[in-house]
Structure 1
Amino acid sequence: MKISVQSTRNNVIVCQIDVVSEMLFDVDFQVDLATDAGQQSFHIRQKGWDISWLPKGSYSLIINLSESDIEATNYRVRVVAMDNANGKPRVLSDCVDSIVVSNPRKVLSPDIYWDLQAQDFDINELSWKKGYSDWFYLHFDHAARVIKELMFNNSDKLKGKILDVGCGDGVTDLGLFLRMQPELLVGIDPFKGFEGIEAACQANHIPEHLVKHENLRFTADSGNEIPFDDDSFDVVLSWGSLEHIAGGYDKALAEITRVLKKDGILFAHPGLFYGEVGNHLREFFDDPFIHLKIPEEELKQRLMTAKPNYMERLGKTYPPEDYWRWYKELNPITVDSMERELRALGYEPWRVALRSSNVVEYTSELQKYSMNDLAVAEMYGTFILKSK
């Protein structure tokens, strides 16, 4: 990245930012003002910005002092750009210049922030500006960061060989691959959702050739028959896939254990059948526990006649018949059952996070279910394979 102060007129600092790399991740800018005499200094913060990534291109960093309450005098301005490369913060570039502030007011602390604009496109089109309502953001940004930072603590294991079992559209794998640059990342899924990943990249200002890297591969294979030798991978990922393996996931777990090296790490984020998102029908029903309250035939009938509020899924929608088939294939996973099964296979928990519901209204239909099973909405866990 290159930074230069382009203009310091009319109490506005405009910096030219040139991203020369294909992509930068977790970008931040630190702007400091100090008087020539060193009597006052101010750190100008970002406001509401979480720059998950920036593509190659030119940008303008704008600091408007017109509405600030800082003393009118000469200031030295320093701008420092930082990012996070492979889990390690680094300084990309910095520059120093001067500005004369003509505000007549003299108050000790300013309330000013920097802003960032792209010169070649609308920066609001980037996934991290759209936030949690955007499917691409949920996977490329949120899910990839959860794996990398929360569950793996930026472990060097993510620099080795990674297998994602049930990779879906592959967007999470792409986000993780570009951030960590592992030796190999393979995503497998028999439903081939990853075939649309190049179009998704194009729609989100990511150069398509980045998904064609020789160390990032997608294949239409099943978790029940993983086409790799024993002890092939340092890491195996399963984000929302174990619950979808029709007929049970025992064979898939055995296959995962076979291809994972001893002391390798398994990341599992299984759908919990009894939790508030466990039925995977929230686009059709407001009640998260409806599948536990009414007979199955009634549930099917109501599903087929409901008016769904579809989530945005990279432009794809599916008919109620597909949702019913997926529902019928769900494995009734709980936190307790998952822990028992993984320990029996030789795994030990390393980092685990549980998200619980705020309140579970225990109607008469729910009395037979465990409080833990209903209240725990999501489980994220990394498990070290200690014995094989």
Structure 2
Amino acid sequence: MTGNWVLALQERLWGLAPWDAKKISDEWFRAHFEYAADVVHQWVGSVLDMRTARLLNFGCGDGITDLSLVLRYGATAIHGVDIRREYAKLPRIAREQLGMRRIPSALTFETITPGAPLAGRRELVDGIMSWSTFEHVQRDQLAPIFADLYACLRPGGYFFIQIEPLFYSPFGSHLRRYDDVPWHHLLASEDELWKVIQNHEGPMDASEVDFGFADFGVEGYKRFVFKEYQALNRLTADELVQLTGQAGFVVARQERRQVDMAIPDGLKGQYPDELLLNNEIFLLLQKP
């Protein structure tokens, strides 16, 4: 999907391929095509013109949000990077969920090696965005990656980061597909958590089932999700702000959302209440 000149030619001749949001039947697709794209546009679109900005999506996943930003908000240049190739499914997904015959030429995607630098390989971008990605990055790679992304951004450009759920929040394990006990990952052992997942039967919340599920199967997906939990870097909102500041970014705007839940007696006093209740951060950064 990196050679988009054919798509660009088709669009010049016939325009963007027709699409119909009424065809959407998958809840994961709907959440990322509607809610996630709306949030990104609210934050990024408030400081950049989506119609002219060159954008980089770090951790683009399946590319659904990028597709929505093009179709619904007029973005014309988004380059998505990820360590997995979930974006390769986007043509099929768009055909099934929107009836689209081809993906817009505004979208390009690339598979990257964890920790490999991006700066200097492409033209500087006007904006960078990242949706629920940085909690999955190894701790020792966070500072180098933020420094590299700083170098990818033009002076005056913006970097939008969203993370949800944060690790110490009620469902910060990312295991809610299988375990609906708040803060269970802070109260139980890994063996106990794994047994809960192993014993889970029945359907999951449709909005939590991504398009990679079919690649793993029921039991394989359980193992994949649990390994993802074990690899979480336990990044807090304060640490995120500190690390990005060390890279040179300045905070233009931020919002931290908290859950309204009672903290279990077993956790009171072990962690600050704010840490346990803060489940999401929206962070808009600028390169001076």
TM-score normalised per structure 1 = 0.62
Query: 2:193 aligned with 1:299, yes or no?
Result: yes
Structure with greater helix share of residues: 2
Structure 2 counterparts to residues 1-388 of structure 1, below 5 A: 55=19, 125-127=22-24, 134-153=27-46, 155-156=48-49, 159-209=52-102, 211-213=103-105, 215-222=106-113, 224-229=115-120, 232-248=124-140, 249-271=142-164, 272-307=166-201, 309-310=203-204, 311-314=208-211, 316-317=213-214, 318=216, 319-386=221-288
Q: Measure how far apart 1:222 and its partner are.
A: 3.7
* Distance change (3 Å), C-alpha of 1:309 and 1:217: same
| Partner residue, 1:90 | none
Q: Deviations over 1:353-388 (max 9, x none)?
A: 2221012333223430111111111111211112xx
For 1:269 and 1:375, the matched residues in 2 are separated by 16
Residue ranges of structure 2 left out of the alignment (5+ in a row): 1-13
For 2:74 and 2:113, the matched residues in 1 are separated by 25
For 1:208 and 1:350, the matched residues in 2 are separated by 39
Q: Measure how far apart 1:153 and its partner are.
A: 2.0
| Partner residue, 1:108 | none
Q: Measure how far apart 1:175 and its partner are.
A: 0.8
Percent sequence identity is 22
Q: Deviations over 1:247-287 (max 9, x none)?
A: 54222212211211221111101241111332100011111
For 1:315 and 1:324, the matched residues in 2 are separated by 15
Secondary structure at the residue paired with 1:365? coil
Q: Deviations over 1:292-314 (max 9, x none)?
A: 00122322333333336433324
For 1:371 and 1:145, the matched residues in 2 are separated by 30
Structure with greater strand share of residues: 1
TM-score normalised per structure 2 = 0.82
Contact 2:16/2:104 (<8 A) preserved: no
Secondary structure at the residue paired with 2:186? helix
Q: Measure how far apart 1:226 and its partner are.
A: 3.9
CA-based RMSD: 2.6
* Distance change (3 Å), C-alpha of 1:366 and 1:252: farther
Runs of 4+ in structure 1 displaced over 3 angstroms?
A: 20-23, 179-183
Q: Measure how far apart 1:241 and its partner are.
A: 0.8
For 1:234 and 1:22, the matched residues in 2 are separated by 24
Which structure ranks higher in relative contact order (CA pairs < 8 Å, sequence separation ≥ 6)?
Answer: 2
Q: Measure how far apart 1:21 and its partner are.
A: 7.5
| One-letter amino acid of the structure 2 residue matched with residue 302 of structure 1 | V
* Distance change (3 Å), C-alpha of 1:153 and 1:177: same
